[in-house]
Amino acid sequence: MALADQDLATDTSVSSIDIDAIMGGGPAKDGIPALTNPEFVSVDDTQVPADDVQGILLDIDGDVRYYPYNILVWHEVVNDEVGGKPVTVTF
């Protein structure tokens, strides 16, 4: 049977714990603001050796941006324009 032919409905009435015991956590909706049109610095102007910073590298038509994880962990979403195209980077 193909996956598309299977009934993939989830039966939420079955659980191993009382659903009322589950508590929400973390920030509320919109509690972590996205970065919009972020400012960038050159590698030479950073405070940390470039080899020590992990992140996401994006190259669109030669327009190169690097989004370091130590910034993304606080914002999780970046709205930017790279290579003349609107992009959203998420972590």
- In sequence order, the β-bridge partners of residue 88 are 79
Biggest CA pair distance of the chain: 58
* pLDDT of 82: 94
Alpha helices by DSSP H, listed for 1-90, are 69-75
| Whether 32 contacts 76, CB under 8 Å | yes
* pLDDT of 16: 86
- Show me where the domains of the chain are located: 32-91
* pLDDT of 7: 67
Digit-by-digit pLDDT tens for the chain (91 residues) are 555 556 667 777 788 888 788 888 878 877 888 888 888 888 778 776 666 778 899 999 999 999 988 888 888 899 999 999 999 999 8
- Which residues are CB-contacts of 88 (< 8 A; sequence separation ≥ 6)? 77, 78, 79, 80
* pLDDT of 27: 81
